[in-house]
A and B are shown apart, each in its own frame.
Chain A
Amino acid sequence: MKSRTQQPKKRVFNVNRQNRILPAVFIVLSLLLMILPLESPVASAKALLSYIFIPQIRASHAVMEYAEGVSDTVKALLHTQRENVLLQEEMGRLRLENAQAQEIFAENKRLTAALNLPAPSIWRGVWAKTAYRDPTQWNSVVIDKGSLDGIHERAAVIALKNTEPVLAGMVLETDEHTAKVLLLRDEDFAAAVYALPSHEEGLLSGAGAGQMRMQYLPYLSEIKAGEKVYTSSSSSIFPAGILVGEIAEVEDENGLQTSLTARVEPEADASVTRELFVLTPQKAEVK
């Protein structure tokens, strides 16, 4: 019979052969996952893992929504009366504006038909909340809406700055209930844009944290710092006329360059924006 004093204070796990093989297998497996291209084999592994992880992500998000909902409800209750008065005033003003807008809308429709112009499309989409953001992955965020909500890959993502819509990025991957959004600043992001008032067109691309570049501007263009940059109608992904940012500086490099490049300061900081609007396929045109 063992006495109390003979018992070890702390049991240390004996490292046997199997326990050396186990980490080696996982290290090799993870190295393989890193080395293999992100397309076929890794995409299949991700699809398989989504069956395990997506329910957890949904559960996590539901818990957070509930927790946020409680505090928001309490806060809302405390401000209800004051908010109600303000909203009544706002409603009155909006009714008036709506009546004027309807009139302008009808006039626009009539003139569009008279000039035989293509009917402008209306933005349709869904509002989504930023559900997950990792500071080390500043180039992307995960939103809480997915393919079941009508979100598809390469859809434009818009944020609101004050009340103005500004371009935030585009959808890169979708699952049923979540989607990954590639933000403007990523180097893989690109969009056809134009600057106002110079009307110069160029290609906008991300250039790392907090920066974007507008490339292929005509060498003799008179584009200046301070001009606003909007999405161009020649873009296949983004609807025309969405504000992207402001020209911060036109790079004047010495050398045999044939075009100019401008540094663009983005309007949206989608990595901190809570709500995003994701455009869904345009089903209906203005009638």
Chain B
Amino acid sequence: MANAVKLFLLFIAATILHWGLMTVLGGAGVNLNMMLVFACAVCACLGPQYGYPTAFICGLFLDFFGIKLFGNHAFVFTLCACMMYGLDKRLDFDAPVPQMASILVLSLFSALFNAVLLHVFAGFSSWAGIGSWLGGAVCNALTAPFVFWTVRRTFKRER
């Protein structure tokens, strides 16, 4: 129960951070995705009973702002959570380099896959350019150590 409350408070903090950064950087075309970093950090620090629902809800939060399709972010985030649990056996997510590398790869994957889903299901091209794609992924990777550290500190790596 305590974990659920902590997770809920962290989720609120993540949404505020995401909203704030998108307000500032969204206009500059940087596709920053703090919700993805947060969902991955939760997957790295907590068990699947917390990780999958968090990823799904983080995705739904982003879907809430879309007008063409609903559920695409939730789908992609759940897949990213699956990959995080798959990578957890091979990588040590306590170190910053695996954190950044995994977030970089997952950010590139999620943005690309999301664009494909929007194109297939809604016939809408959401491609904002390679600069936005790479820039967003790099920014996500740079924020990863801070977000992972915050989540780990909050839960003291309970898995």
Interface positions of A (Cβ within 8 A of B): 10-13, 15, 18-19, 22-23, 26-27, 29-35, 38, 42, 45-46, 49-50, 53, 56-57, 59-61, 63-64, 67, 130-140, 142, 172-173, 180, 182, 208-209, 271-272
Q: Is the CB of B52 within 8 A of A132?
A: no
State in angstroms the CA–CA spacing of A14 and B143 once bound together.
29
Q: Is the CB of A60 within 8 A of B70?
A: no
Q: Is the CB of B48 within 8 A of A19?
A: yes
B62: which A residues are within 8 A, CB to CB?
134
- In whole Å, how far is A50's beta carbon from the nearest beta carbon of chain B? 7
* Additional A-B contacts beyond A33-B74, A131-B19, A180-B67 (10; CB < 8 A): A23-B81, A30-B71, A34-B71, A34-B72, A38-B70, A42-B70, A46-B70, A53-B61, A133-B26, A135-B26
State in angstroms the CA–CA spacing of A161 and B12 once bound together.
36
B146 close to chain A: CB less than 8 A: no
B53 close to chain A: CB less than 8 A: yes
State whether A33 and B48 are in contact (beta carbons under 8 Å apart), knowing that A11-B159, A64-B20, A131-B23 are contacts in the complex.
Answer: no
- In whole Å, how far is A21's beta carbon from the nearest beta carbon of chain B? 10
State in angstroms the CA–CA spacing of A60 and B21 once bound together.
10
Interface positions of B (Cβ within 8 A of A): 12, 15-16, 18-20, 22-23, 26-27, 29-31, 47-49, 52-53, 55-56, 59-72, 74-75, 78-79, 81-82, 85, 88-89, 92, 94, 111, 114-115, 117, 121, 124-128, 132, 136, 159
Cross-interface CB contact of A27 among B60, B75, B127, cutoff 8 Å: B75
The list of the 6 closest CB pairs from A to B, nearest first, reads: A33-B71, A60-B19, A30-B75, A30-B74, A133-B26, A34-B71
State in angstroms the CA–CA spacing of A49 and B57 once bound together.
10
Q: Is the CB of B30 within 8 A of A135?
A: yes
- In whole Å, how far is A221's beta carbon from the nearest beta carbon of chain B? 31
Chain B residue nearest to A25 (CB atoms) is: B52
B94: which A residues are within 8 A, CB to CB?
10
State whether A136 and B114 are in contact (beta carbons under 8 Å apart), knowing that A23-B81, A30-B59 are contacts in the complex.
Answer: yes
Q: Is the CB of A50 within 8 A of B64?
A: yes
Q: Is the CB of A132 within 8 A of B16?
A: no
Q: Please, could you name 20 A-B residue pairs with CB atoms under 8 Å apart, sorted by A?
A: A15-B85, A19-B48, A22-B48, A27-B78, A30-B72, A35-B121, A60-B15, A64-B19, A132-B22, A133-B26, A135-B128, A136-B31, A136-B111, A136-B126, A139-B68, A139-B124, A140-B65, A140-B66, A208-B125, A209-B125
B132: which A residues are within 8 A, CB to CB?
135-136
Q: Is the CB of B49 within 8 A of A56?
A: no
Q: Is the CB of A137 within 8 A of B72?
A: no
A13: which B residues are within 8 A, CB to CB?
47-48, 85, 88, 159
B78: which A residues are within 8 A, CB to CB?
23, 26-27, 30
Chain A residue nearest to B120 (CB atoms) is: A34
Tell me whether chain B's interface is mostly helix, strand or loop, or mixed.
helix
State in angstroms the CA–CA spacing of A49 and B125 once bound together.
26
Q: Is the CB of A137 within 8 A of B126?
A: yes
- In whole Å, how far is A32's beta carbon from the nearest beta carbon of chain B? 7
Q: Is the CB of B65 within 8 A of A26?
A: no
Q: Is the CB of A134 within 8 A of B26?
A: yes
Chain B residue nearest to A55 (CB atoms) is: B12
A19: which B residues are within 8 A, CB to CB?
47-49, 85
A209: which B residues are within 8 A, CB to CB?
125
Cross-interface CB contact of A132 among B26, B115, B125, cutoff 8 Å: B26
State in angstroms the CA–CA spacing of A50 and B111 once bound together.
24
- In whole Å, how far is B21's beta carbon from the nearest beta carbon of chain A? 10
Q: Is the CB of B27 within 8 A of A133?
A: yes
Chain B residue nearest to A38 (CB atoms) is: B70
State in angstroms the CA–CA spacing of A22 and B132 once bound together.
33
- In whole Å, how far is A180's beta carbon from the nearest beta carbon of chain B? 6
Cross-interface CB contact of B15 among A30, A57, A130, A172, cutoff 8 Å: A57
State whether A142 and B71 are in contact (beta carbons under 8 Å apart), knowing that A30-B78, A34-B121, A131-B23 are contacts in the complex.
Answer: no
